[in-house]
Structure 1
């Protein structure tokens, strides 16, 4: 099969994502440097013990995770910690898969560029953002191990956004007999699907909402957030206005994925707010990209919008991707006792205009 450069990058990274999710190592190359890396979330103990007999095991974690462990904000770069064979049991605690009870050592050094890209690969795969690395040498049969480059990891998110294509579209009648059309987008090789829900007639500068998927809110009607209300009031508002578009993006938990979002919920049960919960697990407060949303708008021949949001970062993100935001339309929901602190955090720490 003949593939162009962009397709080869997508195929390489998609294969690597699948393999680290299966608990298999992959090789990352950067110039003359190469490392083997495996996710601590999926690696089994037997494999790690076997690796530790032949190699020095290193664990790379984000600065946010290390700052949480050390209860300070002194670290400004991702850190790589050497893990001795007798301390392999510490790995799940260090990277956030288990509660911290006793850790032998978290002293490390700033991660190298190639180790930073290993972390980025874990983010793309929506695994806990930490990676085990060890030296690569020619004794390994690379025919059975995915080999990717630093450049491919860096290019993946940009390419996967730009390569979105319409897969299908169909009419859809929503609650209250609201007529709409849903259009599905995906790339030809891997990545997430995203959707445009087109309501009524579309003007030159339509009202749009970028809505990140929320399994707990949209589907289960959780009271812990305001996502369900925002989605349905946006649909009703657009219907009354004569038209609009919901961009339903599969970016659960502000881009960290559903499982990691549920992990953050367990941190919130201990008193952390939504920002601190994400950072305690090693993530940033918002991991979303706006290129996919901008690409879909351009596919629909829309270059300027009225953005239904309280979040100025969404407007900035679209503007940076070439979509003019004429104005932001406030989208404020009533709070309840279960989401009051969440809404307060969005206002005070994430800059939402609430």
Structure 2
């Protein structure tokens, strides 16, 4: 789908025209008609009412809404996208507004609300214009139409407020792409996406500043720790980088990890945060390149104290989602705009994301980053976190691997860490040519099976014979050892039974290996060495 350039849309906004703005398909997946509020004439309002057919709203900055004494419509916002409606308004009769519903009345109400001289008493409540409170930081903090309207007006050099209206088809259904492209073309309007607006701001503005950098040896390996400060709220974040910062080969292996003091530092067994963090660091170390972005978003964004309150509610029988909601919070308050800016600062735009959370994929995609692969983090449930993991799967949509037969491929090489990214790309290419796909794994018990090889992958076979692939790997000059394991499930692969004995072979035997059902027969644990 072809979108128009943001610069062209800004020119249209500056000229008093409307533009069509589309959000992410994982969010509302809708298009809104948006114009700068200062150009909201009766004709523009009538066009929105008759040709867009949605709810006409006024997006404004919080400071102006506070000056007008317009509180949020509800104390507890249960909208899926946390759209921040205030109480609705009409301008007073002293401004010539009568019923408030006509296009002329609604345009007048908007202009009265924009006027810096207007006082709260000049606005009647409720009314027919619905103000929306934009998040500070705009689309970099929330990828919504409210923030897009304010950003577009501000970037166009106008008053930071916009009028928005959802676009419906003539039958009352929501207009989606490609219908919105046809709609924009029919009316001669620019069509842009919020993702492109985010990308435009990320390319032209910086709210996250790099403050410090130091080498950090750890039990997982040596990383570069780069500290960042978010100038919007003063929060501090860190990126742990394996490899040369600003020179990482894309797509980069990335873990976007939200702070969990209780798990990461204290070893709480209520969650799987620490095992995920450690697995990510080990896997990045094994691959020789990658980044862990550590975001200060304790308790999925609700903070430490509220997280402890949620723990108390969980002890009373609620699950992790129900506890958050009982405290008045959405299930997940996290925002990935800061993480996206950190990756952008590091020159990363294409990534392989270590996650089980599809919301992270959609969230980062909304900030102009391309997630080319989801690399699963497979954790073993324990007695204290089984219910927590079940709630994440059933209510938050987290993706956990199914219990199907699992084949694991291990590779040890005789070259240094600087060559490991090249080796990984070469092996993945060889596997693809032989009809396989590889999913990186990293688990200490797996590594111990083959004396700590540099690479371990889950081999997605789809019934293809593994022998040709193994022959190709044996022929690589850098290959020192190759391992292959087949077990009934991925859980067993991560926790191999002690009865599974390793069968040793010479690497040269792979050259003459026939199609002997290596993958089909099992369980098995095979190992080939060069000498």
**Any idea what the Cα deviations from partners look like across 1:145-166, whole Å, max 9, x if unmatched?**
xxxxx98862346567950010
Paired residues of 2:68 and 2:120 also in contact (CA < 8 A): no
Aligned pair partner of 1:270 in 316, 319, 335 = 316
Is 1:182 equivalent to 2:230 in the alignment? no
The whole-number CA distance in structure 2 between the counterparts of 1:319 and 1:164 is 18
Paired residues of 1:209 and 1:247 also in contact (CA < 8 A): yes
Report the TM-score when normalising by structure 1.
0.59
C-alpha spacing 1:189/1:306, structure 2 compared with 1 (3 Å)? closer
Matching of residues 85-124 of structure 1 within 5 Å: 112=87
Paired residues of 1:61 and 1:282 also in contact (CA < 8 A): no
Is 1:165 equivalent to 2:140 in the alignment? no
For structure 1, the 5+ residue unaligned runs are: 1-26, 38-58, 65-74, 79-109, 115-135, 139-149
| Deviation of 1:33 (Å) | 2.2
**1:214 alignment counterpart:** 260
Paired residues of 1:28 and 1:35 also in contact (CA < 8 A): no
The root-mean-square deviation of aligned C-alpha atoms, in Å, is 3.1
**2:69 alignment counterpart:** 34
| Deviation of 1:112 (Å) | 2.0
Matching of residues 134-145 of structure 1 within 5 Å: none
The whole-number CA distance in structure 2 between the counterparts of 1:35 and 1:335 is 47
SS in 2 for 1:232: helix
Is 1:204 equivalent to 2:239 in the alignment? no
Higher relative contact order (CA 8 A, sep 6+): 1
**Any idea what the Cα deviations from partners look like across 1:114-155, whole Å, max 9, x if unmatched?**
9xxxxxxxxxxxxxxxxxxxxx999xxxxxxxxxxx988623
Runs of 4+ in 1 over 4 A off after TM superposition: 75-78, 150-153, 157-162
Larger C-alpha radius of gyration, 1 or 2?
2
The whole-number CA distance in structure 1 between the counterparts of 2:358 and 2:232 is 32
**2:349 alignment counterpart:** 303
The whole-number CA distance in structure 1 between the counterparts of 2:239 and 2:80 is 38
Paired residues of 2:230 and 2:338 also in contact (CA < 8 A): no
SS in 2 for 1:328: strand
**1:346 alignment counterpart:** 392
| Deviation of 1:267 (Å) | 1.0
| Deviation of 1:313 (Å) | 0.9
**Any idea what the Cα deviations from partners look like across 1:76-101, whole Å, max 9, x if unmatched?**
999xxxxxxxxxxxxxxxxxxxxxxx
Matching of residues 275-354 of structure 1 within 5 Å: 275-354=321-400
**1:145 alignment counterpart:** none
| Deviation of 1:200 (Å) | 3.1
| Deviation of 1:34 (Å) | 1.7
For structure 2, the 5+ residue unaligned runs are: 1-61, 90-118, 122-130, 142-201, 401-531
The whole-number CA distance in structure 2 between the counterparts of 1:299 and 1:220 is 31
Paired residues of 2:258 and 2:298 also in contact (CA < 8 A): yes
Return 179-188 or 225-234, whichever deviates more: 179-188
| Deviation of 1:194 (Å) | 1.2
C-alpha spacing 1:350/1:31, structure 2 compared with 1 (3 Å)? closer
Aligned pair partner of 1:239 in 285, 291, 306 = 285
Paired residues of 1:210 and 1:247 also in contact (CA < 8 A): yes
The whole-number CA distance in structure 2 between the counterparts of 1:220 and 1:316 is 30
Aligned length: 233
The whole-number CA distance in structure 2 between the counterparts of 1:77 and 1:195 is 27
C-alpha spacing 1:312/1:35, structure 2 compared with 1 (3 Å)? closer
The whole-number CA distance in structure 1 between the counterparts of 2:66 and 2:398 is 42
Paired residues of 1:304 and 1:323 also in contact (CA < 8 A): yes
Paired residues of 2:86 and 2:133 also in contact (CA < 8 A): no
Matching of residues 46-65 of structure 1 within 5 Å: 61-64=75-78
By percentage of residues, which structure has more helix? 1
Paired residues of 2:243 and 2:288 also in contact (CA < 8 A): yes
**1:192 alignment counterpart:** 235
SS in 2 for 1:237: helix
The whole-number CA distance in structure 1 between the counterparts of 2:327 and 2:80 is 16
